[in-house]
Structure 1
Amino acid sequence: MSDIVITTAKGRTYHRPDCGPGFLATRAKNERLGRKIHPVLEMTRAEAVALPRKACRHCGGEPTPAL
C-alpha cells in the first residue's frame, strides 16, 4: 500500500494520485481562467499533513484499497 499523495506548492489540500474529480477538475478550471498553475509535488501523507495540508473532500487522500 502506497502512502504517496500529491499536492501543489501553493495547494491547501492533498490528494491520492488517481483523484480525478477534485484535483484535475480544479487544475483544468484554473488553467482555463489563465491562473498560474503550480507544479505537482509527490510526498508522503505525513509530509502533507505537516505542511499543513487537508485531505481532499472527494478522495480523502486515502490510498486506493488493494484488490
Structure 2
Amino acid sequence: MTFTQRVTIKHALFTARVSYEKNLATAQAMCAQGFTEALSLIDYWEKAIREVDDARDAMDALTAKQAA
C-alpha cells in the first residue's frame, strides 16, 4: 500500500469519526429534550464510532506490518 493510499484511508476514517461524533451529540441532545426515539440513534452512532476505531486500529497494524 502506498503512502498516499494510507493517508487517504486515514483521512476518510478521521472524517467519518468526526461526523459520527457530531451525530451522536445531536442524538444525545434530542434525548435530553425528551425525544426518547433518539435512544436507538445513540446506539447506532456509538457502534459506528467503534467500527471506525476498529478500522483505524487495523490500518495502523497493517502499516506497522508493512514497515517491518
Does TM-score exceed 0.5, indicating one fold?
A: no
**Which structure has more RCO (C-alpha within 8 Å, separation ≥ 6)?**
1
Structure with greater proportional helix content: 2
Structure with greater proportional strand content: 1
TM-score (norm 1): 0.29
Tell me which structure has the larger Cα radius of gyration: 2
